[in-house]
Chains A and B, each alone.
Chain A
Amino acid sequence: GESVGLHLPTLSVQEGDNSIINCAYSNSASDYFIWYKQESGKGPQFIIDIRSNMDKRQGQRVTVLLNKTVKHLSLQIAATQPGDSAVYFCAEAPYGTYKYIFGTGTRLKVLA
């Protein structure tokens, strides 16, 4: 399959444990944030988004936390499964634009 990046930080978690992937964003004008999952050989896939007027948003097994004070975003995956193994990207965008700025990505490895 495709290799997204050879120098990505890697997070290894045991199957069934919770995963926390962190992201620092750069633009204080960004007010919309998204997490994407990219599996080998595939395009990025939307997971969850959050606006800057929120601190937390929950989806199915995923939670995104936003700390605007320190410009930090995190993605929590509950009960991590082998199918969660992928590269996860955060993206930020200023309001009204779609010039998503992607982070470098974190590779999540789920250990059986």
Chain B
Amino acid sequence: DSGVTQTPKHLITATGQRVTLRCSPRSGDLSVYWYQQSLDQGLQFLIQYYNGEERAKGNILERFSAQQFPDLHSELNLSSLELGDSALYFCASSVVVTGGTEAFFGQGTRLTVV
């Protein structure tokens, strides 16, 4: 158990809909990262938040947005869903701001868009 909690584990929704994925980082970790893992593209970094503020952005679509709340949990909002958005979405957290450290990943949310 990494200490990072993601809900829900599975989500099935229709095209055009909007969903919210939730992540609770490890206790004390200020940084939260979101990744998308699809079959044909591996793990893709989407966005990072640190202590409530956006810190880094990756290949995140404009239809997607995220935020980190004062209690440090984070939500990833996916809207106008398309079939190609079907993927595993992982959240990770770490505590160190500068330099390198390991990121702890949650179990992921499997999103299926039908």
Our verdict on whether A and B bind, yes or no, reads yes
Q: How far is the CB of A94 from chain B (nearest CB, A)?
A: 10
On whether the beta carbons of B108 and A43 are closer than 8 Å, the reply is yes
Q: Is the interface of B mostly helix, strand, loop or mixed?
A: strand
Contact present for A49 and B42 (CB under 8 Å) = no
Interface residues on A, range: 20 to 34
Give the contacting residue for B107; candidates A7, A42, A93, A97; CB below 8 A.
A42
A contact face: mostly helix, strand, loop, or mixed: loop
Complex contact A98–B42 (CB within 8 A): no
CB B114 to nearest CB in A, in angstroms, measures 18
Q: What number of A-B contacts does a CB cutoff of 8 Å give?
A: 76
* Contact digits for A17-53, partner B, Cβ 8 Å, 1 yes 0 no: 0000000000000011010100001111110010100
* Given the contacts A43-B90, A96-B99, A101 and B105 also touching, CB distance less than 8 Å: no
Across the interface, do A5 and B42 meet the contact criterion of CB distance under 8 Å?
yes
- Check B105–A96 contact: CB distance below 8 A: no
Task: Assess whether B56 is in contact with A99, with CB atoms less than 8 Å apart.
Answer: yes
Asked whether any CB of chain A lies closer than 8 Å to the CB of B40, the reply is yes
**Chain B residues near A (Cβ < 8 Å):** 2, 4, 31, 33, 35, 37, 39-40, 42-45, 48, 55-56, 58, 88, 90, 92, 94, 98-108, 110
Instruction: List 4 additional contacts besides A43-B90, A45-B105, A46-B104; criterion CB under 8 Å.
Output: A2-B88, A43-B107, A51-B100, A99-B56
